[in-house]
């Protein structure tokens, strides 16, 4: 299954989160997944491809692409974050012990999963008419986790994961979310929001570090044996020591984004849970196994499945009427009288769940919803239908 979304920032209104000015990008985003009975790795992965187009006459130097993730593993208050430089991924997992329920959120108990984001291929690096090396020569691009390096083909190199940072809403002040455009750009270059660079070890801040060494990657463990993130000098393994409600930022760049240029970023969201052996490490080991399999399928051009699961048939019954549509306060369902309604979900156009009902109701209260376009998904004992509705 796949879904395709196109959006842009052509508006003159500043970006909502950062307050930064719009830069005229158009993004084509395709999310897809395989229901694959022959590959647990494929069956537990969602892929997302971003095609980013510079629709302006402006050249943007020092341009970075950042993937921000809030990976809540059951109870969100006991999470660690790490990255694997060699595998070009970052991931989150629970602290050891029991992952207890938190309010209405169910924990995973003692069978701890790991979920992460794999950079399958980042943006193309700037052309330099050479086949760049994976190892540092003091001048040319150095990226042991990218693709297209040392393959005898000129200017086909693409960045992998070039940096990793994290935020923690319950952590120290310097770990707070960025709030300005310069802070967002800085985080993608491994700077904290207080404009100090990430240092190697401990919590990685000028107030708490092991080595006064600039680092591109927070918590790489022992996954950076070449010292890619520390200017070519390897240091002892660095693992997280503080946990909480962590957020992750995986970075790719820099490039010079030329007018009319199209760049493509492809990532995979991988989930792994060992349901046989308790503890954190079994889930992490399975995650690494899945990541290696997914990366191999991608790089060899074999990203497909010959044994897919059945797709649930969606029967959009024409005799069902939703009225009034547009609606301001109440939406009524006419039809399905002989079919018991099991679940009703209202979704924003980006897929975010806005409202959910689990009763056999024919009346939906829209008063608390904002004006806009939504999709309503009605699941009955025998059918499922999806319709577009408008809230006045």
pLDDT digit string, tens, across residues 316-346? 555 788 889 999 899 998 877 778 888 899 9
Going by pLDDT thresholds of 50, 70 and 90, the confidence category of residue 104 is confident
Q: What is the pLDDT of residue 102?
A: 80
DSSP state string for 14-52: PPTTT-PPP--EEEEEEEEE--BSS-HHHHTEEEEEEEE
Q: What is the pLDDT of residue 312?
A: 55
Q: What is the pLDDT of residue 338?
A: 74
Structure tokens at 195: 């404009």
Any alpha helices (H) in 112-263, and if so which ranges? Answer: 181-187
CA 359-364-367 angle, 5° bins: 135
Select the more confidently predicted residue: 353 or 122: 122
Going by pLDDT thresholds of 50, 70 and 90, the confidence category of residue 309 is low
CA 386-9-59 angle, 5° bins: 140
What is the tens place of the pLDDT at every residue in 23-35? 999 999 999 999 8
Nearest to 268 by CA among 109, 160, 188: 160
Burial class (CB in 10 A: 0-12, 13-18, 19+), 81: buried
Compute φ and ψ for 270, nearest 5 degrees. -110, 135
Flag whether pLDDT at 169 surpasses 80. no
Residues 6+ apart with CB under 8 A from 137: none
Flag whether pLDDT at 53 surpasses 60. yes
Q: What is the pLDDT of residue 245?
A: 86
Mean of the per-residue pLDDT values for the chain? 90
Q: What is the pLDDT of residue 140?
A: 66
The most confident of the ranges 76-90, 169-183, 301-315 is 76-90
Going by pLDDT thresholds of 50, 70 and 90, the confidence category of residue 106 is confident
Flag whether pLDDT at 37 surpasses 90. no
Chain centroid to CA 203: how far? 23
Question: What is the set of domains in the chain, with CATH numbers?
Answer: 2-299 (no CATH), 321-391 (2.60.40.1930)
What is the tens place of the pLDDT at every residue in 188-226? 999 999 999 999 999 999 998 899 999 999 999 999 998
Q: What is the pLDDT of residue 311?
A: 55
**Whether the Cβ atoms of residue 214 and residue 198 lie closer than 8 Å to each other:** yes
What gap in Å lies between CA 83 and CA 91, rounded to an integer?
6
What is the tens place of the pLDDT at every residue in 244-292? 888 999 999 999 999 999 999 999 999 999 999 999 999 999 999 999 9
> For the whole model, what pTM was predicted?
0.79
DSSP state string for 339-358: S-EEEEEEEETTS-EEEEE-
Q: How far is CA 218 from CA 102, 117, 209, 212, in A?
A: 28, 15, 11, 14
């Amino acid at each position: 299954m796949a879904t395709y979304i196109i959006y842009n920032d052509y508006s003159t209104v500043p970006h909502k989160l950062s307050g930064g000015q719009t830069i005229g990008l158009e993004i084509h985003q395709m999310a897809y997944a395989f229901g694959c009975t022959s590959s647990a790795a494929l069956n537990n992965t969602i892929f997302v491809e971003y095609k980013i187009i510079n629709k302006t006459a402006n050249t943007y130097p020092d341009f970075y692409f950042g993937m921000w993730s809030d990976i809540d593993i059951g109870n969100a208050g006991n999470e660690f974050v790490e990255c694997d430089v060699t595998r070009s991924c970052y991931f989150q997992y629970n602290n050891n012990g029991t992952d207890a329920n938190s309010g209405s959120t169910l924990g995973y108990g003692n069978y701890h999963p790991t979920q992460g984001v794999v950079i399958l291929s980042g943006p193309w690096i700037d052309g330099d008419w050479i086949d760049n090396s994976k190892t540092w020569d003091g001048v040319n691009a150095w990226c042991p986790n990218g693709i297209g390096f040392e393959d005898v083909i000129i200017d086909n190199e693409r960045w992998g994961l070039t940096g990793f940072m994290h935020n923690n809403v319950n952590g120290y002040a310097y770990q707070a979310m960025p709030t300005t455009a310069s802070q967002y750009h800085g985080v993608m270059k491994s700077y904290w929001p207080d404009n100090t660079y990430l240092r190697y070890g401990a919590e990685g801040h000028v107030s708490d570090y092991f080595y006064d060494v600039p680092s591109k990657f927070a918590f790489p463990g022992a996954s950076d044996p070449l010292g890619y993130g520390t200017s070519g000098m390897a240091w002892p393994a660095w693992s997280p020591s503080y946990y909480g409600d962590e957020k992750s930022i995986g970075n790719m760049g820099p490039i010079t984004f030329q007018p009319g240029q199209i760049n493509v970023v492809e990532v995979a969201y991988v989930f792994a849970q060992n349901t046989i052996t308790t503890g954190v490490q079994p889930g992490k080991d399975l995650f690494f196994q899945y990541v290696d399999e997914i990366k191999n399928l991608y790089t060899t051009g074999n990203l497909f499945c010959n044994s897919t699961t059945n797709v649930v048939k969606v029967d959009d019954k024409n005799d069902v009427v939703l009225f009034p549509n547009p609606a301001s306060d109440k939406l009524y369902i006419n039809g399905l009288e002989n079919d018991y309604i099991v679940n009703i979900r209202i979704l924003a156009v980006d897929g975010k769940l806005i409202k959910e009902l689990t009763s056999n109701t024919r009346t939906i209260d829209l008063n608390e919803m904002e004006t806009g376009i939504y999709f309503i998904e009605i699941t009955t004992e025998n059918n499922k239908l999806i319709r577009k509705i408008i809230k006045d």
